[in-house]
Amino acid sequence: MTTGPSSPDDGAALREAIEERNRLWEELQRKNAVEADLEYWRQRASDIERSRWWRAGFPLRYVKRFVKDPAGMLEGRADAIRRRRRGA
Amino acid sequence: VSVVTVAIPVLNGARYLDEVLTAVRAQRVDREVEILIVDSGSTDGSLEIARRHWAIVHEIPASQFSHGGTRNRMMELARGEHVAFLTQDATPAHDGWLAALLEGFAQADDVGAVFGPHEARPDASHMIKSEMERHFASWGNGGTEIDVQRLDSSPEGIEAYREFPGQLTFLSDVNCAVARSAWEQVPYREVPYAEDQLLGRELVEAGFAKVFHPEARVVHSHDYPPLAFFRRYFDEFRSLREVLGFRQPWGPRQTMRDVRGLVGADRRWLRAQGLTGMELVGPLLVSGRHHVGRMAGSIIGTRANRLPTALRRALSLEGRASFTPYEIPGGLLERDEANVDRNWPWEFVRKAYPRRPIAVEPHGGHAGGPLTIAWVVPPWSVGSGGHTTIFRLVRQMEQRGHRCSIHLFDTGNKERRSGGELRREIREHFVPIEATVFRDLDRFTGADVAIATEWRTAFPVRDLPHCREKVYLVQDDEPQFYATSSLSIWAEESYHMGYRCIAYTPWMADILRTRWNLEASYFECGTDTDVYEFAGEEGREPGLVVVYARGETERRAVELALAGLATAFERRPQIQVVAFGSSLGVTAPFPLRDVGVRPPTELAELYRRASVGLVFSLTTHSLVAQEMMASGLPVVELEGDNVASALGESGDLVELAERTPDSIAGAVERLLDDREGAAAMTRRARRFVEERTWERAGDQVEAALLDYLARPR
């Protein structure tokens, strides 16, 4: 059985409601797609950080960071120790 | 009056036995308590203590003692339906200990064993006290609540169990109770050590529940000098390897981290006892030494199989030289995982059974207004004709005001790109769609219509929630892709699901209606006449034949096309053949130039230069043929209902060949010889193609969707 609007006004209102519903649906799809992509890239980054090659390169990156900004590195380390102490 | 038995194996246990039996006799329970002692040769007065407490005493020679065997004997001797086991140095912490164990059995009908926590004796070291607290806090919300444990038999549950069995299997007969009914099915095993762990494992794997009761506490601990601790841990962990297959992970960083973690836990425990500052130094040094010994004992113990027998005996506190892995036949921990594929690509089919109806939301048949449409597609490669058609239809729907989403269904989990990257590829290499693209179906939220576009996608689409209608876009008679096989059965299964179909060509719709009894309308593919512009005879190279040679898809009958061209070449050695469409390469028994997969603009240019085009498809009508027709290239196709139905009553639009090499060669020769006739045919073909626009295809698909929605199931 096909049901439909009983007057032209009803028809316009229905169409408007459907348009709005569809717009919200599309917005939801976009939001979900962004969230899915975010999750995907987070997973990719985590996979890279857990890879053997990334871990093998840790000393090199550490030295590079230290050479570039020794004061910042030491400050960051001190912060980390302070945070850990507070946490403990 | 029902009976509960408290069973204690004894050998020279006088130090604590009186205290233990006094605490047992003080228990307040609503049934008779039977105390059962099996002594294996005590000489320190243990027997007299036991008799003083009215215990039933059985004496056995020391040679007959084994942890598992003796406890089985005690189960046989006991009168109780539930038998609580203690060791000779484990004292019930209060008079409700036995009642708590019995309360554990009341938690469910299938409880096979109940266990409770151990409290360290007051003179135990801080490491032992801290460790025991941590250990028993693993159950019952930090060790405070009754915890009923069962094996989750789902694949995920089994995987979690295999990952960390100890959480489920732990059972210590220092302080536990066993139901006779469970023991009759799963008795203790005759193993040298860790018989309780093995019993716990077997009970859980046999489907029994195991209960932790925080009030079933006993006071029990061991303290040893450092070296003896190391040897004790060697024994314990060797047994865990034998019984559970556990291996202590190790490595310089890992082990350092583990020791640091254990010392850190001791530090927190000591702080909780009020120690601060320098007071912590001494105890933590002792902790460090203890945990280094513990880690060494556990690492070496779980690898005891690699040690010589004499060394094993020397390292063992109990002087045991053996290493005997205990395998439970059919046990969940012994299964050989070498060939297990956790991403087995056909799980989606298996889970689709038993057959069930298509999931759709009931609705009143309203089909007005723009729709929301979810397209579920299989993975693609650039240039895929089937996907080009799907994405063109998506675009057509969007241009009519409908909102679309595209969901990849990748059974092999091979697609490594994000939804955003996939969308970019569709827009750059196929059609500039507006739809959002998802790399899976995880975030599917519903739509007016969900469309399956290939037989694999029909399986998940059937069960997708919150859709008013489910439609199957059938471009090919896909079961015909496969020899008789699982895949042909499953492709046919997609026709048993009760989809409403939109088929490419009236021929395919007819098959769906007559052979599979499905509701089917059809659409006819359009052609990009802007890209594939018409060219007449001028500029065509005489004798240049192009052939669609995508051998990757068997339905393209590439070998047959090449056989026909080989015969043609034998008859006319001056013809030149250009093959395209394959990324795997093409070989033939005659000179041939393979240009591989080319973009549409280059193909259009090739079609305008060539004199004859060959393109076969055995399961539908080829879009490539229509593109050749649009370019004014005379086409040879194989005779068949699929071609006849697609080309309709429009007269001679292509040169048809029978399915033999000489017939194909003959068709090529006719077109090469009769250029006037060929040119007339191409003009008719162009007119035919011009009528079949993508707008028309879009209209056909939209009309079908609205029709299906107007007639709810």
What is the rounded CA–CA span in Å between residue B439 and residue B309?
Answer: 56
Q: CB B443 to CB A36 under 8 A?
A: yes
Phi-psi map region of B446: left, alpha, beta (phi>0 left; psi -120 to 50 alpha): left
Mutate to test the interface with B, among A10, A15, A22 (most CBs of B within 10 A): A22
Q: CB B364 to CB A1 under 8 A?
A: yes
**What is the SS3 assignment for B115-178?**
ECCEECCCCCCHHHHHHHHHHHCCCHHHHCCCEEECCCCCHHHHHHHHHCCHHHHCCCCCEEEE
Measured in angstroms, the CA of B369 and the nearest CA of chain A are apart by 6
Query: Which candidate, B499, B531, B533, B585, places its Cα nearest to that of B388?
Result: B531
Do B20 and B8 meet the contact criterion of CB atoms below 8 Å apart? yes
* Residue whose tokens read 């099915």: B185
Query: Which candidate, B425, B299, B352, B392, places its Cα nearest to that of B699?
Result: B392
Amino acid sitting at position B190: E
Query: Which candidate, B656, B598, B608, places its Cα nearest to that of B628?
Result: B608
pLDDT band (50, 70, 90) for residue B493: very high
Query: Pick from A22, A40, A88: which is nearest to B403 by CB?
Result: A22
pLDDT in tens, B350-386: 999 999 999 999 998 877 779 999 999 999 988 788 9
Query: Pick from A3, A15, A29: which is nearest to B369 by CB?
Result: A15
> CA-nearest residue of chain A to B267?
A88
A3 pLDDT above the threshold of 50: no
Q: What is the mean pLDDT of chain B?
A: 92
- Structure tokens, B615: 């393109």
When mean pLDDT is compared over A17-21, B273-277, B563-567, the highest value belongs to B563-567
pLDDT in tens, B444-454: 999 999 999 99
* B7 membership: H or E segment, kind and range: strand B3-10
Phi-psi map region of B383: left, alpha, beta (phi>0 left; psi -120 to 50 alpha): left
What is the arithmetic mean of pLDDT over A42-65?
A: 88
Q: How many helices (H) and strands (E) does chain B have?
A: 27, 24
What is the arithmetic mean of pLDDT over B503-529?
A: 92
What is the arithmetic mean of pLDDT over B517-522?
A: 96
A2 Cβ under 8 Å from any chain B Cβ:
yes
Sheet containing B576-580, strands listed edge to edge, beginning at the edge strand earlier in sequence: B593-594, B576-580, B544-548, B612-614, B635-638, B655-657
What is the rounded CA–CA span in Å between residue B114 and residue B146?
Answer: 10
pLDDT of residue B117: 96
pLDDT in tens, B465-485: 999 999 999 999 999 888 899
pLDDT band (50, 70, 90) for residue A2: very low
> CA-nearest residue of chain A to B367?
A2
Q: Which of B467-476, B522-531, B668-677 has the lowest mean pLDDT?
A: B522-531
Residue B579, phi then psi, degrees to nearest 5? -100, 145
A14 Cβ under 8 Å from any chain B Cβ:
yes
Amino acid sitting at position B652: D
Query: Pick from A25, A29, A40: which is nearest to B418 by CB?
Result: A40
Distances in Å between the Cα of A88 and the Cα atoms of A47, B96, B243, B257, B271 are 29, 37, 37, 16, 10
pLDDT band (50, 70, 90) for residue A52: confident
Distances in Å between the Cα of B638 and the Cα atoms of A48, A65, B477, B561 are 52, 67, 17, 9
B50 pLDDT above the threshold of 60: yes
Helices (H), B464-505: 486-493
Angle between helices B126-136 and B281-301 (to 10 degrees): 60
pLDDT of residue B650: 56
Q: Which of B68-77, B221-230, B512-521 has the lowest mean pLDDT?
A: B221-230
**Which value, in Å, is the radius of gyration of the alpha carbons in chain A?**
27
What is the arithmetic mean of pLDDT over B563-585?
A: 94
Residue B273, phi then psi, degrees to nearest 5? -85, 0
B629, with CB counted inside 10 A (0-12, 13-18, 19+), is buried
Do B550 and B565 meet the contact criterion of CB atoms below 8 Å apart? no
Q: CB B418 to CB A14 under 8 A?
A: no
Triad A52, A57, A63: Cα angle to 5° = 155
Do B433 and B406 meet the contact criterion of CB atoms below 8 Å apart? yes
Task: Please provide the DSSP assignment of B31-99 as one string.
Answer: SEEEEEEEES---SSHHHHHHHTT-EEEE--GGG--HHHHHHHHHHH--SSEEEEE-TT-EESSTTHHH
Q: CB B418 to CB A37 under 8 A?
A: yes
What is the arithmetic mean of pLDDT over B254-264?
A: 91
Contacts of B704 (CB under 8 A, 6+ apart): B471, B502, B521, B523
A4 pLDDT above the threshold of 60: no
What is the arithmetic mean of pLDDT over B180-201?
A: 90
pLDDT of residue B390: 96
What is this structure's pTM?
0.69
A57 Cβ under 8 Å from any chain B Cβ:
no
What is this model's ipTM? 0.77
Residue B281, phi then psi, degrees to nearest 5? -60, -55
pLDDT band (50, 70, 90) for residue B552: confident
Distances in Å between the Cα of B418 and the Cα atoms of A29, A33, B453, B489 are 15, 9, 21, 32
Furthest C-alpha separation in chain A: 77
Phi-psi map region of B106: left, alpha, beta (phi>0 left; psi -120 to 50 alpha): alpha
Q: For the CA atoms of B71, B76, B80, B83, what is the dihedral angle to 10 degrees?
A: 10
Measured in angstroms, the CA of A10 and the nearest CA of chain B are apart by 12
**Which value, in Å, is the radius of gyration of the alpha carbons in chain B?**
39
What is the rounded CA–CA span in Å between residue B657 and residue B643?
Answer: 11
Q: CB A22 to CB B437 under 8 A?
A: no
Parallel, antiparallel or unpaired: strands B91-92 and B218-219: antiparallel
pLDDT in tens, B88-124: 999 999 999 999 999 999 999 999 999 999 999 999 9
Contacts of B173 (CB under 8 A, 6+ apart): B67, B71, B85, B87, B195, B196, B199
Residues of A whose CB is below 8 A from B365: 1-3
Residues of A whose CB is below 8 A from B408: none
pLDDT band (50, 70, 90) for residue B308: very high
What is the rounded CA–CA span in Å between residue B433 and residue B694?
Answer: 14
User: With DSSP H G I counted as helix, E B as strand and the rest as coil, what are the percentages for chain B, rounded to 5?
Assistant: 45, 15, 40
B555 pLDDT above the threshold of 80: yes
Contacts of A60 (CB under 8 A, 6+ apart): none
B502 pLDDT above the threshold of 50: yes
Query: Which candidate, B665, B615, B667, places its Cα nearest to that of B643?
Result: B615
Is the four-CA dihedral A13, A18, A21, A22 of positive or negative sign?
Answer: negative
pLDDT of residue B651: 58
Parallel, antiparallel or unpaired: strands B56-59 and B576-580: unpaired
B519 pLDDT above the threshold of 50: yes
B411 pLDDT above the threshold of 60: yes
* Residue whose tokens read 């489920």: B168
The Cβ of residue A53 has, within 10 Å, a number of other Cβ atoms equal to 7
Is residue B225 reached through a cis peptide bond, with omega within 30 degrees of 0 on the bond before it?
no
Query: Pick from A1, A30, A36: which is nearest to B365 by CB?
Result: A1
Query: Which candidate, B710, B706, B713, B708, places its Cα nearest to that of B365?
Result: B710
What is the rounded CA–CA span in Å between residue B146 and residue B139?
Answer: 8
Strand, helix or coil for residue B321: coil
What is the rounded CA–CA span in Å between residue B438 and residue B376?
Answer: 9
- Structure tokens, B215: 């009030």
The Cβ of residue A82 has, within 10 Å, a number of other Cβ atoms equal to 10
pLDDT in tens, B650-672: 558 999 999 999 999 999 999 99
Amino acid sitting at position B211: V
Residue B82, phi then psi, degrees to nearest 5? -120, 135
Query: Which candidate, B315, B112, B120, B302, places its Cα nearest to that of B202?
Result: B112
A72 pLDDT above the threshold of 70: yes
What is the arithmetic mean of pLDDT over B40-60?
A: 95
Measured in angstroms, the CA of B260 and the nearest CA of chain A are apart by 14
pLDDT band (50, 70, 90) for residue A9: low
Do B588 and B562 meet the contact criterion of CB atoms below 8 Å apart? yes
Q: CB B418 to CB A4 under 8 A?
A: no
B488 pLDDT above the threshold of 60: yes
Amino acid sitting at position B596: G
Q: CB A3 to CB B365 under 8 A?
A: yes
Contacts of B138 (CB under 8 A, 6+ apart): B167, B170
Residue B540, phi then psi, degrees to nearest 5? -85, 140
> CA-nearest residue of chain B to A35?
B443
The Cβ of residue B247 has, within 10 Å, a number of other Cβ atoms equal to 14
Residues of A whose CB is below 8 A from B442: 36
| Chain B positions with Cβ closer than 8 Å to A | 268, 364-372, 402-403, 405, 418-420, 435-440, 442-443, 445, 447, 710-712
What is the rounded CA–CA span in Å between residue B102 and residue B440?
Answer: 50
Q: What percent of chain B lies above the pLDDT cut of 90?
A: 77
pLDDT of residue B649: 62
> CA-nearest residue of chain B to A29?
B436
